[in-house]
Amino acid sequence: MNYIPYPHIELPFGEDNKWFVFLFDSIFRVDQSFIKYDIEDVDKVGASNVVGTKAHLERVFAYELYRQWMNCLEENGIRNLVVNGEIGKCLKDEFAKDSEQDTQKGRDNFPDLVLHKSQGNDDDQIMVCEIKREDVNDGDLLLDLYKLSCYLSEQLFWKEPFKYGVFVLEGKTASLSKLKIKPGTTTQFKGRDITIEEFKDKEDFKLKFQNIVCVSYDGEHLCYETLDNIVDSIIKRN
């Protein structure tokens, strides 16, 4: 579904749709300069010419989204929630037995952005977000969707689970149609191998797919859909 600022959002979350209005409007405030930048060349007489563009790292987009999201919440009088970035969100001990090597590889569960009461209070665990560029590989896409499902799981998350997960695909040609994972794709998390088939068929996760929203944003257009409606197309190759 396409989104332009201030329309009715077609999501099944009732009054909680407002959290997605705030998020989507904040994403719209992140202009293309935080998605890509110009590559310039200087000719013999010192004139500068744009010869191409290059994608920013994901964190450039994420940092600006953090700023705009906080501004949007404040403008709408939301004082009891905060957006935090890249903070530790542990799973239950029996699931999250990290090795030192795993931690050094950066495979721990540190979501890009979360909307919640605070790091020390789990009364309002509203939304957890992962962000990737449009050139994300199959394994990393599977890993992010898997992690989002873990944060929403009562069985796996050690505190009150989040109500909603959001996966944001950003890039100058980003679209939901680019969310593709080859059959048989495997990723590793907490020392475990997870296949796309195992993820898709896990009953606990399947119940949460309706609460995970996938978003694409190219600097001008934002599209969104719940994971339960597109999971089959994600692993289908044309």
pLDDT tens across 3-35, in order? 887 778 999 999 999 999 999 999 999 999 999
Judging by DSSP bridges, how do beta strands 36-42 and 48-55 pair with one another? antiparallel
Q: Which of 31-45, 65-79, 115-129, 204-218 has the lowest mean pLDDT?
A: 31-45
Is the per-residue pLDDT at 152 higher than 70?
A: yes
Q: What is the pLDDT of residue 230?
A: 97
Q: What pLDDT score does 7 carry?
A: 74
Closest Cα to residue 169, out of 42, 40, 62? 62
Taking the mean position of all CA atoms in its chain, how far away is CA 218? 14
Instruction: Please give the residue that has the higher pLDDT: either 231 or 237.
Output: 231
Q: What percent of the chain has pLDDT over 90?
A: 65
Tell me whether residue 70 is exposed, middle or buried, using C-beta atoms within 10 angstroms of its C-beta: 0 to 12, 13 to 18, 19 or more. Answer: middle
pTM over 0.85: yes
Positive or negative, the CA dihedral 69, 73, 74, 76 is positive
**Could you tell me what percentage of the chain is helix, strand and coil, using 3-state DSSP and rounding each to the nearest 5?**
35, 30, 40
Checking if the pLDDT of 85 tops 70, the result is yes
What is the token pair recorded at 140? Answer: 């990393």
Residue with tokens 């590989």: 137
Q: Note whether 237 and 183 are within 8 A (CB).
A: yes
What is the structure's pLDDT at 76? 96
Q: Averaged over 198-214, what is the pLDDT?
A: 95
pLDDT level of residue 156 (50, 70, 90 thresholds) = confident
Backbone phi and psi for residue 207, each to the nearest 5 degrees, phi listed first: -70, -20
pLDDT score for 94: 43
Is the per-residue pLDDT at 108 higher than 80?
Answer: no
Q: Which of 8-12, 104-108, 122-126 has the lowest mean pLDDT?
A: 104-108
pLDDT given for residue 99 in this prediction: 42
Position 217 pLDDT exceeds 50: yes
pLDDT of residue 103: 45
Torsion from C-alpha of 224, 88, 83, 35, nearest 10 degrees: -50
In contact, 203 and 156? CB cutoff 8 Å = no
Buried/exposed code over 110-143 (b: 16+ C-beta within 10 A; e: otherwise) = ebbbbbbeeeeeeebbbbbbbbbbbebebbebbb
pLDDT of residue 227: 98
pLDDT interval class at 159 (50, 70, 90): confident
- With cut-offs at 50, 70 and 90, classify the pLDDT of residue 43: low
- Taking the alpha carbons at both ends of the chain, their separation in whole angstroms is 21
Task: Indicate whether 155 pLDDT > 50.
Answer: yes
